[in-house]
Structure 1
Amino acid sequence: MTVVVAIAIATALFAGGFAGFNEARIEAGDAAVATWAAPLIVVALGVAALGLYVRRHADGFRTWSQRKRLYWASLLFSGVIGMVAAMLLQEGPGDGLMSNEALSPNVAIGLSLLWVVGLVIALALYHRAVDDHERHAYHQASLAGFYAFIFPCPVWWVLWRADLAPPVDAMALFGLVLIVNAAVYLWFKFR
């Protein structure tokens, strides 16, 4: 599994190098490389490296149960979706992932489709692979994440209407939900 993690890290480093190269081209006044090129190249190289690793160690992977293969496929697929989305969000002006700058329509449509279609596929794989213990952890984490949204959101909105708080930031609430969800999930899964 260490080699798989190393492949993922090398792929992410290559993506960062490509983003730096693209940024240097923009600063030098040259045209930027197409937005879709970096994710396509990096994902293709990462999948090729992972494919070579799996082919070399095929006997070990054949011993995995169908459930374990589906589980790891859903995690890998989700990681690829996150990496491609992060790379697409790095294109253009602003602070990258944390930027609220306008996106081009093509990038916005691509990210939206990637999020919806990718999430449906990853969740379908994940839910076919989990057992009752993990399903319980998932449900508890989902409920905690829901609570992490319904408590602060209306309070923040009311305080904003009274000019006591900044405007409601959907991504800040989304981040809070993800952090609470992950913490509760990990607690129930590994305690």
Structure 2
Amino acid sequence: MTNTDDIRSEGMSPLKRAALVIGGVLIAVFALGVMAGYTKAALEGGSFGWKSLVVYLVAAGLLLGGTWMVRRGVTKFALSKSPKMREYQLVVLGTCLLGAVLGGLMQLGAPAGSEAGLNILSYNAPISPAVAAVMLASLPLLAWLYYRWHKTADEHEQAAYNFGAVLGIYTYFFASIGWWVAWRGGLLPEPDGLAIFWAVIIVWSIGWIWHRFR
């Protein structure tokens, strides 16, 4: 089993470190998306006013806050001396970095004049073909990173991952069949596959983190 003490920082638990880094990256990417989306919408509308200033100030504050969280989370971070643990750490960092880049591309890739400029939170909003091509081309790299993670993660990490995976599978089963039955009974709108996908990912991640750091 690899030694997880190598990734601890002074006075900071691994859970707090992970929360700071992941939360900071998400906040920073969201802030950049807000700036890009609002700029495109404002350019399309041909006007920048005091509301624009408020939006940019809030987004800048979020960006600074997210950057501070990431910097705080990686302070005094040192790679392990163990080759296997070092590769594990690099794979995790590489996966987070790739996810942040792809998230930023998705936010920035909405064509001018589309509804995405006004509603950056809509996951059905169109993106440019070039951005879509880059994201699709990155999937083999993401698959390789996942493969290397499975080869380098220790037994405790694998057990936490499997625990979250089981919760995710149950979430998919009950959410998909429950939503489908409710839709056929006229109680809910037509099932949204992507919404169920994100529900699975969120439950999986929570289960993984809880089992990993409890």
Give the Å deviation of 1:70.
1.5
Structure 1, unaligned stretches of length 5 or more? 30-49
Aligned positions, number: 162
Match of 2:132 among 108, 121, 125: 108
In structure 2, C-alpha distance between the alignment counterparts of 1:23 and 1:126, rounded to whole Å: 37
Shift in alpha-carbon separation, 1:180–1:9, aligned structure 2, 3 A: closer
Deviation sequence 1:57-86 (CA, Å, 0-9, x none): 9xx54x521122112212211112211221
Letter in 2 for 1:78: T
TM-score by structure 1 length? 0.67
Q: Is 1:153 equivalent to 2:176 in the alignment?
A: yes
1:24 match: 39
The percentage of counterpart residues that share the same residue type is: 25
Distance of 1:179 and 1:18 partners within structure 2: 21
TM-score by length of 2: 0.60
- 1:123 aligned partner: 146
CA contact (8 A) 1:144 1:180 kept: yes
Provide the rounded CA distance (Å) in 2 between the counterparts of 1:18 and 1:143: 33
Distance 1:87 1:98 in 2: 14
Task: State the distance in 2 between where 1:111 and 1:14 align.
Answer: 16
1 or 2 for the larger relative contact order (CA 8 Å, sep ≥6)? 2
Partner residue of 2:193 out of 170, 175, 182: 170
Asked if 1:144 is matched to 2:167, the reply is: yes
* Superposed CA offset, 1:14-63 (max 9, x none): 9945872675366335xxxxxxxxxxxxxxxxxxxx9xx9xxx9xx54x5
For 1:177 and 1:132, the matched residues in 2 are separated by 23
Q: CA deviation digits over 1:147-179, x for unaligned, max 9?
A: 110111022112213322112112221221122
Note the residue ranges of structure 2 that are not aligned, 5 or more in a row. Answer: 1-8, 13-19, 45-70
Question: Residues 96 and 64 of structure 1: is their aligned pair in 2 closer, same or farther, counting only changes over 3 Å?
Answer: farther
Query: Relative to structure 1, is the Cα distance of residues 132 and 97 closer, same or farther in structure 2, using a 3 angstrom cutoff?
Result: same
